[in-house]
Amino acid sequence: MLNKLSARVIGYGILLLVGMWASYEIQLNNDKQQALQQTRQNVLKLTRYIQSEFARYQAIQTQLSNSPLVYEGLSASSHADGSELDRYLQDIQIASGASDVYLLNLEGTVIASSNWQQSYSYKGSNFAFRPYFYQTLNGQEGVTFALGQRSKTRGFYFAKQVSMAQEALGVVVMKVNASKFESDKAQLDTGTDSHFLLVDSNNVVLASDVAKFRLQALSALSAQTQQQLRQTQQFLGKEITRLPWQQLSANYVAVGGASNEFLLQQQPLHQHYRLLLLRQLTPIYQAQWPKLGITALLLLLACVLLEFILSKMTGYKRLVFSQRSLELEIAHRREELEQAQDALIRAAKLATIGQLSASINHEINQPLSAMSAYVASAKRLAQQGNTEKVIENMALVQSLITRVHTIVAQLKSFSQHHHNKMQVTRLQQSIDNALVIVGPELKRAGVTVQCHALDFTVWVDPFRFEQVLVNILSNACQAVLSQPQKCITLNAEGSDNKVQLSISDSGEGIRQHELNSIFEPFYTTKSGNGLGLGLSISKQIIESFQGQLSAHNHPAGGAEFLISLHTKSPTHDGQ
């Protein structure tokens, strides 16, 4: 007895440990996925903001390049006082939030600057060595990053060529301090545990809200790259060291050791830059301990409950035989129920065809009458030797025969018994097949059908699904008979491996007290017509596809039936 009790205690202990471990892993993975999704949204938000700021500064540069004052300042014959242009650039600098705005002539010399009154004024300085100067004159306008030669501050340089009659006159430059974007990040709702890095094509961190990340490389720079940086003086000779950056996977990195892990999401930014957003994992790990305590408590309660249940199951062996017998009986009853349901569905199909028979007969008799007339005419034309007209009549007869064959074939397929066969089916094809059946009734009643966005696939039994469509379309046709505008609209929308088909009509809608009853068996709103099984069977069919069928009144008037279906096997989706 003691050994048995010890074995149970050990078993419950193992179960508790395994349960806590599984719960920890599941909750941790779930929290990581939620944080990763939030980080993805935040990096998109931050990227859109910085891109909009870049676009704003570029638009200001375009306006500056077309300014008459700028043209006058670059004119070789101008003797005007440059202070007016300096003040104009200063006004632009203050209004735009840039740090400096200045104008360079073709030699790269600054002839006007927004900081003209400051001790570190750029006026008279030559920046011809800067890539933004000679690249812009060569037609390669863009956004470059560099350290200011005098201020030593990091900044993005927006350069725009000033030209007249396709002749370059100079370059107007706007510098925006990188610190602006670093401080703006705090104003965006990206989370206190997130940090951003703006890196260039060499993986050098140009801007970050973490000071120790700035002007360091995520990977070691080659000797050739270092030589190019020294030649362009982009960083004024500052040595770019490697950040202790370790890429663990596509979405995980470690910075300075495995204990300092981050979630990672990145987006391309402008032409040569990328924006990286890091989310600290430490708070996520810390948040697991309270959850683990709750899980342990729940597992302990579950063990106590399990022990209580096991202690009461002394008659389990005697119940096994009864349970198996009951399962066999249930399986037998289920088979009988499915057979009865199939018979009921076949009866509903025949009843539907019976209700539509007058319209279908008219749709078939009409081409038959036309064929008879064309054949009689062909006889007379043949006697007259007019073979050309005879051939035209025979072609018309052939098209009418094809039309009748299409209707009869679809009726035969619709009325026959089919074994359940779930498959991926084109929604448009199923609707077209249903319209072949119900089309004559719609045409006879003068009902127009509007279809929108039906290019989807659905996971259904196509024959049963067509029965649902025929039933709903037929009901919609009868609902609009008394309306001046007779219209049925079909529209589909897809999201998350699901498709929702809307079938709405321009009728009077469904009475409020009938909304909760229209899917009940034998409930009908048709006086003297219908058994009240169509919608009940339709709902069962859609639910057998693991879908949903519902009805409500459309805000614009009329009734609307919504069919929600999977685009592929739900079992496959869950794997």
Q: What is the pLDDT of residues 228-275, one digit of tens each?
A: 888 888 888 888 889 888 888 888 988 877 668 888 999 998 778 999
Element (H, E) at 561: strand 559-566
Residue 332 C-beta-side C-alpha neighbours within 13 Å: 6
Q: pLDDT category, 575, cuts 50, 70, 90?
A: very low
Which 3-state string (H, E, C) describes 132-177? HHHHHHCCCCCEEEEECCCCCCEEEEEEEEEEECCEEEEEEEEEEE
Instruction: Give the CATH number of domain 340-573.
Output: 3.30.565.10
What does the alpha-carbon distance between residue 517 and residue 566 come to, in Å, rounded to a whole number? 26
What does the alpha-carbon distance between residue 15 and residue 418 come to, in Å, rounded to a whole number? 49
Q: With beta carbons less than 8 A apart as the criterion, state whether 261 and 252 touch.
A: yes
Q: Which residue has the tokens 């259904």?
A: 460
Q: With beta carbons less than 8 A apart as the criterion, state whether 519 and 491 touch.
A: no
Q: With beta carbons less than 8 A apart as the criterion, state whether 112 and 102 touch.
A: yes
For residue 507, give the DSSP letter.
S
Q: pLDDT for 105-126, tens place per residue?
A: 999 999 999 988 888 888 989 9
Q: With beta carbons less than 8 A apart as the criterion, state whether 542 and 468 touch.
A: yes
Give the lowest-confidence range in 98-107, 174-183, 189-198, 220-229: 189-198
**Could you give the 3-state DSSP secondary structure of residue 425?**
strand
What does the alpha-carbon distance between residue 432 and residue 113 come to, in Å, rounded to a whole number? 71
**How would you classify the pairing of strands 487-495 and 498-505?**
antiparallel
User: Quick check: do 58-180 and 340-573 share a fold?
Assistant: no
Instruction: Look up the CATH architecture of domain 58-180.
Output: 2-Layer Sandwich (3.30)
Element (H, E) at 264: strand 261-269
Tell me the average pLDDT across 314-342: 68
Q: Where are the domains of the chain?
A: 58-180, 340-573
Quick one: pLDDT at residue 528? 45
Quick one: pLDDT at residue 536? 80
Cα 88 → chain centroid: 47
Beta sheet of 154-164, edge-to-edge order? 110-113, 100-105, 167-177, 154-164, 143-147
Q: pLDDT category, 431, cuts 50, 70, 90?
A: very high
What does the alpha-carbon distance between residue 422 and residue 459 come to, in Å, rounded to a whole number? 6
